[in-house]
């Protein structure tokens, strides 16, 4: 949680400092938690596991002025429809943002581009008796 608090404070401070100098700058949305922390191995689609599919899915997320994901566009497909669909479903439902801000430090809608790497879990070799 400390990372989130520091990031938020830095963004708000930079925006207000810029405004005080008469040179406020717009800022895009910032995830409240790193994107990879929103998806775990438990989210791996069983059909993709069985097919041994592992790929990267690149997306552009539309983020509302309230910091919620309102749209998910696949910018580079994994080639596996189940991984593409799961990526957007999970990001829409789980990721929250500090919203974008305009030059007047008002929250506005924005976009955020990222990717998710779906990587098959490493299988552990069974333990040998007496090992």
Domain boundaries, the chain: 2-117
Say which CATH class 2-117 falls into: alpha beta
9 pLDDT higher than 70: no
pTM of the model: 0.74
Following CA atoms 49, 55, 60, 64 in sequence, which dihedral angle do they give, to the nearest 10 degrees?
Answer: 30
* Residue 71's pLDDT band (cuts 50, 70, 90): very high
10 Å CB burial of residue 100 (0-12, 13-18, 19+) is: buried
More confident position, 93 or 6 = 93
5 pLDDT higher than 80: no
Check residue 68 and report its DSSP letter: B
Q: Tell me the sheet residues that pair with 97.
A: 31
């Amino acid at each position: 949680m400390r990372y989130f608090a520091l990031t938020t404070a830095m963004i708000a401070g930079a925006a207000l400092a810029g405004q005080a100098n008469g040179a406020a700058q717009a800022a895009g949305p910032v995830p409240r938690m790193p994107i990879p922390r929103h998806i775990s191995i438990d989210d791996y689609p069983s059909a993709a596991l069985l097919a041994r599919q592992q790929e990267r899915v690149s997306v552009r997320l539309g983020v509302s002025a309230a910091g919620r994901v309102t749209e998910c566009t696949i910018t580079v497909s994994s080639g596996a429809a189940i991984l593409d669909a799961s990526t957007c479903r999970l990001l829409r439902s789980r990721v929250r943002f500090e919203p974008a801000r305009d030059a007047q430090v008002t929250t506005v809608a924005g976009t955020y581009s990222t990717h998710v790497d779906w990587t098959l879990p490493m299988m552990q070799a069974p333990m040998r008796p007496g090992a």
